[in-house]
Chain A
Amino acid sequence: MGAIIWGTSGKHVTSAQNRTILICSGKGGVGKTTLTANLGIALAKQGARTAVLDADFGLRNLDLLLGLENRIVYTAQEVLSGSCRLEQALVKHKQEPNLSLLPAGNPRMLEWLTPDDMKKIAGLLAEQFDYVLIDCPAGIEDGFKNAAAACREAIVVTTPEVSAVRDADRVIGLLQTREIEPIQLVLNRVRPRMMANQEMLSVSDVTDILALPLLGLVLEDDQVIISTNRGEPLTLNGTRSPAGQAYTNVARRLRGEEVPLADPTKEGQGLRAKLGRLMHTKIF
């Protein structure tokens, strides 16, 4: 029932010039920041000059996930006020120099930041980078509106849960009224076994409602928690964890490569996949 748009060519936009992409979800905790960090690293590894901008000023943690917290000197706030240049505020990733982070300023920025400020920052980044990923705050209030004003396309992250899908649907509606195009979907934290037992919304349940091209399926993976705590995104050192591979594939599809989507109900059930995962499981 219903057509799942498996990642076929032509569905994903491939234009080369700067792409400023909003990464949003509506609901919190579905994996926006994780996707931003991993996608940023993966794009940079594939040779694209990439900037990630933390637009979640209230509850910033993109810097944490990238392991760059202790290197921040200036933030977007100083860039806007003119007290430093953009280059000074950008934090280059220690292992992946193609990736830079523009950190969020202090939470009080929320009080005065306007959509025009965000446009200005994004415009500055667009001059220097191929990809600008904007990590959007949860919710649909001012933080979301500011971030959306600066973007031309969007990736909506959701999990196969009714509440996350409902919020994603609302956000997609708001993005469409802003004529943000294309909007693509990443389905996060998929549990194949629960899907097979029909205890979780299936991929087609989600795509039926949201009606967006599917950019990627990311399996639930314990490694994500470990990598978050370490500040080393999964895509960084080529781990063969299922989630890390999924994020790398999202990046490849975003760049226009044709990478088939795996069927989650058949994913990782072979003995080889299980052994392989055991071999590559990292423990602190």
Chain B
Amino acid sequence: MAAEFVPAARSGLSHQLLLPAAGPEAAPLPKQVSRGLHGVISYGELLLQSGDWLLTVADLRGLERQLAAHRLELVGVEGRQALTLVAAAAIGLATHLQQSSGPGPSPDSHNSPDLVIQRGTLRSGDHLQVEGTALVLGDVNPGARVSAGGHVLVWGRLRGVAHAGCHGDPSARIVALQLRPLQLRIAEVIARGPEDSPPQGFCEQAHLVEGMIRIDPAEPGWPPFSG
């Protein structure tokens, strides 16, 4: 067991660090965290999901130093132990008390609204609207639309209209196995799809580069979902 790092689905949200279940056999916090952060390249603000861990001010200070080595800044703690939250508040962190909801509440439930999975092809006239990131397992046919506050990921052919970052996030991307859209929108920027056929067998991504939508070969390591 190790702590689990969950990168933010879009900019403006914090990354999250989920601690595994607390207990007498659990490894000490620094070890958990160093395992959880192994290989993480994201940086920025981070929210700790402390679960049932009882953490003191000293524990939290140690955690802050560990995070700083990864250019991560602890900004808040969410957990079910009031004493942990008191310690966090004492060093100026935002806190949120979770009500215990039965045995073993799934830590994933906090992240799931960020990623909406659409199984099956979106046909003409369909409009998928999502607050977080949209993942379409299927095609987006001509005449169909996907709008997402975060990224738009299409595991299939994108031949309709896609709008990523529809609340104004310029770092949102559109990725598809075959990118052949009628129109692409990222934040407030609009572009027509390419006229000529895309290269066969290359996954492509559209993102904003200096205020223009550009299409490049997709990066294998992106999006950086862990676990």
By a beta-carbon cutoff of 8 Å, the part of chain A in contact with chain B is: 1, 166-167, 169-170, 172-173, 176, 208-209, 211
> For chain B residues 140-179, which have a beta carbon within 8 Å of chain A?
141-143, 157, 159
Beta-carbon contacts under 8 Å, B114-155 to A: 120-126, 139, 141-143
- Whether B121 pairs with A170 at a CB distance below 8 angstroms is no
A245 to B139, CA, bound (A): 34
Residues of A within 8 A of B120 (CB): 176
Q: Which residues of A contact B122 (CB under 8 A)?
A: 173
9 A–B contacts, CB within 8 A, in A order: A166-B124, A169-B142, A170-B123, A170-B125, A172-B123, A173-B125, A176-B123, A209-B142, A211-B139
Contact at A167–B124, with CB atoms within 8 Å? yes
Q: How many B residues, CB 8 Å from partner? A: 14
Distance A226 CA – B121 CA, assembled complex (angstroms): 40
Residues on A with beta carbons closer than 8 Å to the beta carbon of B123 = 169-170, 172-173, 176
Give min CB distance, A195 to chain B, whole Å.
Answer: 18
Are A166 and B143 closer than 8 Å at their CB atoms? yes
* Chain A residue with the shortest CB-CB distance to B142: A166
Dominant secondary structure at the A interface? helix
Give the number of A-B contacts (CB < 8 Å).
30
Q: Which residues of B contact A (CB under 8 A)?
A: 120-126, 139, 141-143, 157, 159, 200
B125 to chain A: closest residue by CB: A170
Excluding A169-B125, A208-B157, A209-B159, 16 further A-B contacts by CB distance (< 8 Å) are A1-B200, A166-B124, A166-B142, A166-B143, A167-B124, A169-B123, A169-B141, A169-B143, A170-B143, A172-B123, A173-B122, A173-B124, A173-B125, A173-B126, A176-B123, A209-B141
Complex A-B, nearest 9 residue pairs according to Cβ-Cβ distance, in ascending order: A173-B123, A169-B124, A170-B124, A170-B125, A169-B123, A166-B124, A166-B143, A169-B141, A209-B141
Whether A211 and B121, one on each chain, are in contact in the complex, defined by CB atoms closer than 8 angstroms, is yes
Contacts of B142 in A (CB 8 A): 166, 169, 209
| Complex Cα–Cα for A1 and B197 (A) | 13
Considering the chains assembled together, what is the distance between the CA atoms of A172 and B143 in angstroms? 13
In the docked arrangement, what's the CA distance between A146 and B16, Å?
A: 50
Give min CB distance, A171 to chain B, whole Å.
9
Residues of chain A within 8 A (CB-CB) of B124 are 166-167, 169-170, 173
- Find the A residue at minimum CB distance from B157: A208
User: How far is it, in angstroms, between the C-alpha of A209 and the C-alpha of B139 when the chains are bound?
Assistant: 8
Select from chain B the residue with minimum beta-carbon distance to A2. Answer: B157
A169 contact set on B, CB distance < 8 A: 123-125, 141-143
